[in-house]
Chains A and B, each alone.
Chain A
Amino acid sequence: MAHSRIPFYLIITTLVVVGLATAWMRHLEMAIPFFPGERQAVWFVEARVDFVAAGGEVLVSLDLPDSPPGFRMFSEHAASPGYGFSIIEHEGNRRGEWSKRSAAGPQTLYYKVQLTSGEDRSSDAEQGPRPRPASVYWDEPLATAANQLLTQALETSSTPQSLTRELIKLLNNAQADQNASLLLEEVPERSRLLARLLNQAEIPARVVMGLYLEDARRRQSLTPMVETYTDQGWVLFNPTTGQQGVPDDLLLWHRGGQSLLDVTGGHGSQVNFSMIRQTVPALDLAQDQFGNNFFALLGVQQLPIEEQSMFKMLFLLPLGAAVVVFMRIMVGLKTSGTFMPVLISLAFLQTSLVPGLLSFILVVALGLLLRTYLSRLNLLLVSRIATLVVLVVFLISILSLLGYQLGLSTGMTITFFPMIIIAWTIERMSILWEEEGPREVLVQGGGSLLVAVLAYLLMEIPLAGHLSFNFPELNLVLLALIMLMGQYTGYKLSELRRFRAMALTKPGDTL
């Protein structure tokens, strides 16, 4: 028989691998968190454009962030009454364009974007061909000063990065260096000066605009920075401090392209930014962000809420089934009806444990009382069960009403119990009582309730609900586990007690 085991273990391995791999892919691709209640910071950034319209056609074009390093963008929209808005992409550069046939007086346009920290994978994709350095022209005596400064910096540097750092150092030390102070006098914006000097040294460099994110700030403006083109692509430098790389709290808004803001048909334009930081559940975020991802098709989040809640219960069932399998195969607990405990525990999920347990025992006990009388009527089995079902319906209704009148809100939840299952349980218990005595009823009833409570406690763990609902594929792993347990031929825990008399037998002992 040994050879026939291979396909079985192959199936088990496949189930486990497929289950775990799909879950992992969905975690990576859709950022669905593995743990419930995980929260993630979200930046709401608002760009506000103000200008005074001249009265005619207006066209406003604002550079928008495209996959800024260190951030992941999701949901962006523009709020500007009366304006048509569209996002135009040109050579990898995105611009938002507002247009209106005629406008006069002060105008305000908003552009809002939500961002989370996290690497956007597409950011490195724009490597492209090496950009050409811009041609630089200086008037004398600035040309000499620039040349001398560059020569000085080139002497102490080897790479574009080090050259940039050296230049920043020289510019910072302007009091001691005449060339630097001369240049700074002519071009006071450090970033522009730095970019020009680098371009002059045949190193592509550009001025970019970044936004420092700080919670609950209003009317912020962009900070100019310099990006130097190196072997690793564009590297950001802070022209004042010489710090290299993108700081965590800096959002690069405007990179390359032409201007930040163009307004046609207006004047006095300015743009400023407000921002606020909020934490939202990571799960909601994942759904907002990746609702149309391929992997989202595998989830049930796209269904209407009503169906979703049904699936929430459904996906918990395998866990309950696994508990039953474990308790019966490994532990050897007796239950009345194989999967009755799972259904009871699902009902407990709705009623919560103690009220559910109490009302279940109450209904079954009352049902048993009624059933004793029924047995005297000598009814045919099916009709007897049907009678029990009807009686259980009445019992539950009466208990619910009673609970309601007494002001117990839990009274109503009793209706979640599967009536047919309860009727059958009562019938079985009653027969068990007649045939095997009350002890066996307690053993099997207690066993069923124990399994039900265990299954309930497991399903109640927020992690279990979260994983089974958001990663239904993990149920494949449970399936593999259940199938594996079906291969167990060792002793049950109960057998270690059942066969305890064997401990008294000595080998070869004949009475």
Chain B
Amino acid sequence: MRWISPWRLSKMGMLGMNCRNRDFIGRYNPRHLYPLVDDKLKTKLLAQQHQLATPSLRFVVREQHAINHIERELQDLEGFVLKPSKGAGGKGILVIVGRHGENFIKSSGAEIGIEDIRRHMTNTLAGLYSLAGAPDVVIVEDLIEFDDVFEGYSHEGVPDIRIVVFRGYPVMAMLRLATHASDGKANLHQGAVGVGLDIANGRCRKAVQFGQPITLHPDTKKPLDQICISDWRQLLVLASGCYDMTGLGYMGTDIVLDRSRGPQLLELNARPGLSIQVANGMGLLPRLRHLESLKEGLHKTPEERVDYVLNTFASDTDEEESPIQAALAS
């Protein structure tokens, strides 16, 4: 089938772009809070302040002249990540996993020289990767050593877990696996695999690449349905805590699992994408509307909210998702 009828979509509770922008982002995300998440440096500092786990910041490059002798700063670092502070859509993120003599090894395995790094930094400072071409700074942070759970699931790059958080309640989760096609990036439209995770237990629900359902990782051929995220509750609590940190009502949290340090907040997104619904095979709207109907301040701490979600949406997935099956059973 090449198209799907809008009535079918709305029956499934699929959240469309217009509805997301107007009814959720426009309504629950006050504009003045955007800089907190659009500027990754601010997010990082804020997270450190709120004692939310996040990859540690090595240094920040703010001036063009600092780039000239950047090799000195990079000397001690084996693997590191360069990020534009105001980058969008994963643009301008350079992941260096190791060194080979004078050269640096990208997550894809390709080698680049110090000049390439300099140019990348220059571009970043000039605002090439930032939202409106505004001048930017380069964040240099620790490389995540990803959890063994993901061994064989990620061809290149770090798998990250996107959790949509609405009014502080984790709503839906998705594991994003970088592939060869996505050049180590975790963006679904670039070819990453999206694995829908059951919000109640972190198990794989289904997986998609380029909008089509798949069962095996396209590069490693490992079956995706065995994925189960450890420390699930801790991960949700971290995601939920971001609401208290930023105050944004509707956001996407990107979390990675570090082998030794556990769940780490990578970044926040005030305009999280809609593909998470396709990866989960279900629409966001029923859960969002349910949470919208809850009284303000019903659950005050992240833990309370996560427990509510674990209880409510655990049964919800079966009840709400399969009225047909329920009807057949009775």
* B139 part of interface (Cβ distance < 8 Å): no
Chain A, residue nearest B185 (CB) = A435
* A504 part of interface (Cβ distance < 8 Å): yes
A residues in contact with B274, CB < 8 Å? 495, 498
In the complex, A384 Cα to B122 Cα: how many Å?
12
Tally of contact residues, A, Cβ under 8 A? 34
In the complex, A338 Cα to B204 Cα: how many Å?
38
In chain B, positions 1-59 with a C-beta closer than 8 Å to chain A are 1-6, 8-10, 12, 14, 16-19, 22-23, 27
Chain A, residue nearest B206 (CB) = A511
Chain B, residue nearest A435 (CB) = B91
How many cross-chain pairs have Cβ atoms below 8 Å apart between A and B?
A: 113
* B112 part of interface (Cβ distance < 8 Å): no
Chain B, residue nearest A376 (CB) = B119
* A10 part of interface (Cβ distance < 8 Å): no
* A490 part of interface (Cβ distance < 8 Å): yes
State the Cβ distance, A183 to closest chain B Cβ, in Å: 86
Q: Is the CB of B126 within 8 A of A381?
A: yes
Q: Is the CB of B2 within 8 A of A495?
A: no
In the complex, A402 Cα to B91 Cα: how many Å?
40
B residues in contact with A511, CB < 8 Å? 204-207, 215, 224-225
Q: Is the CB of A499 within 8 A of B277?
A: yes
In chain B, positions 97-153 with a C-beta closer than 8 Å to chain A are 118-119, 122-123, 126-128, 133
Query: Which listed residue (B4, B12, B325) contacts A500, Cβ 8 A?
Result: B4
* A492 part of interface (Cβ distance < 8 Å): yes
In the complex, A54 Cα to B318 Cα: how many Å?
115
In the complex, A502 Cα to B282 Cα: how many Å?
8
State the Cβ distance, B275 to closest chain A Cβ, in Å: 8
A residues in contact with B91, CB < 8 Å? 435
Query: Which listed residue (A380, A497, A499) contacts B122, Cβ 8 A?
Result: A380
* A105 part of interface (Cβ distance < 8 Å): no
* A489 part of interface (Cβ distance < 8 Å): yes
Q: Is the CB of A503 within 8 A of B18?
A: no
Q: Contact mask A481-503 → B, CB, 8 Å, 1/0?
A: 00000111111100111111111
* A59 part of interface (Cβ distance < 8 Å): no
Q: Is the CB of A510 within 8 A of B16?
A: no
* B323 part of interface (Cβ distance < 8 Å): yes
* A507 part of interface (Cβ distance < 8 Å): yes
A381-B127, A381-B133, A509-B206 given as contacts; is B19 within 8 A of A490 (CB)? Answer: yes
A508-B321, A508-B325, A511-B204 given as contacts; is B4 within 8 A of A496 (CB)? Answer: yes
Q: Contact mask B162-203 → A, CB, 8 Å, 1/0?
A: 000000000000000000000000000010000000100000
**Which bucket holds chain B's interface residue count?**
35 or more
In the complex, A51 Cα to B281 Cα: how many Å?
99
A residues in contact with B128, CB < 8 Å? 381, 431
Query: Which listed residue (A381, A490, A497, A508) contacts B16, Cβ 8 A?
Result: A490
* B324 part of interface (Cβ distance < 8 Å): yes
In the complex, A436 Cα to B122 Cα: how many Å?
20
Q: Is the CB of A500 within 8 A of B207?
A: no
* B208 part of interface (Cβ distance < 8 Å): yes
* A259 part of interface (Cβ distance < 8 Å): no
Chain A, residue nearest B275 (CB) = A498
A378-B119, A495-B17, A509-B206 given as contacts; is B212 within 8 A of A501 (CB)? Answer: yes
Chain A, residue nearest B280 (CB) = A505
* B220 part of interface (Cβ distance < 8 Å): no
Query: Which listed residue (A1, A492, A501, A507) contacts B213, Cβ 8 A?
Result: A501
* B278 part of interface (Cβ distance < 8 Å): yes
A491-B9, A495-B16 given as contacts; is B281 within 8 A of A503 (CB)? Answer: no
A489-B16, A507-B321, A510-B206 given as contacts; is B5 within 8 A of A496 (CB)? Answer: yes
Q: Is the CB of A502 within 8 A of B281?
A: yes
Q: Contact mask B264-296 → A, CB, 8 Å, 1/0?
A: 000000000010011001100000000000000
Chain B, residue nearest A510 (CB) = B205
Query: Which listed residue (A382, A489, A497, A507) contacts B323, Cβ 8 A?
Result: A507
* A332 part of interface (Cβ distance < 8 Å): yes
A332-B17, A511-B215 given as contacts; is B323 within 8 A of A500 (CB)? Answer: no
In the complex, A440 Cα to B256 Cα: how many Å?
28
Q: Is the CB of B126 within 8 A of A505?
A: no
Chain B, residue nearest A436 (CB) = B190
B residues in contact with A488, CB < 8 Å? 18
A residues in contact with B213, CB < 8 Å? 501, 504-505
Chain A, residue nearest B189 (CB) = A436
In chain A, positions 17-39 with a C-beta closer than 8 Å to chain B are none
In the complex, A389 Cα to B104 Cα: how many Å?
35
B residues in contact with A153, CB < 8 Å? none
Q: Is the CB of A489 within 8 A of B23?
A: yes
Q: Is the CB of A487 within 8 A of B322?
A: no
Chain B, residue nearest A330 (CB) = B18
B residues in contact with A490, CB < 8 Å? 6, 16, 18-19
* A329 part of interface (Cβ distance < 8 Å): yes
B residues in contact with A496, CB < 8 Å? 3-6, 9
Q: Is the CB of A501 within 8 A of B208?
A: yes
A490-B18, A501-B211, A502-B14 given as contacts; is B322 within 8 A of A508 (CB)? Answer: yes
A residues in contact with B5, CB < 8 Å? 496
Q: Is the CB of A505 within 8 A of B281?
A: yes
Q: Contact mask A258-285 → B, CB, 8 Å, 1/0?
A: 0000000000000000000000000000
Q: A490-B6, A491-B18, A498-B274 are in contact. List 6 more A-B contacts (CB 8 A).
A: A378-B122, A486-B22, A489-B23, A495-B17, A503-B4, A507-B321
Q: Which residues of A contact B (CB under 8 A)?
A: 1, 329, 332, 378, 380-382, 384, 431, 435-436, 486-492, 495-505, 507-511
Closest CB pairs A-B (n = 9): A508-B322, A381-B126, A505-B281, A489-B19, A511-B206, A491-B16, A507-B322, A508-B321, A503-B4
Chain A to chain B contacts (Cβ below 8 Å), 13 pairs: A384-B126, A436-B190, A490-B19, A495-B9, A496-B4, A499-B9, A499-B277, A500-B1, A500-B211, A507-B322, A508-B324, A509-B206, A510-B206
Q: Which residues of B contact A (CB under 8 A)?
A: 1-6, 8-10, 12, 14, 16-19, 22-23, 27, 64, 91, 118-119, 122-123, 126-128, 133, 190, 198, 204-208, 211-213, 215, 224-225, 274, 277-278, 281-282, 317-318, 321-325
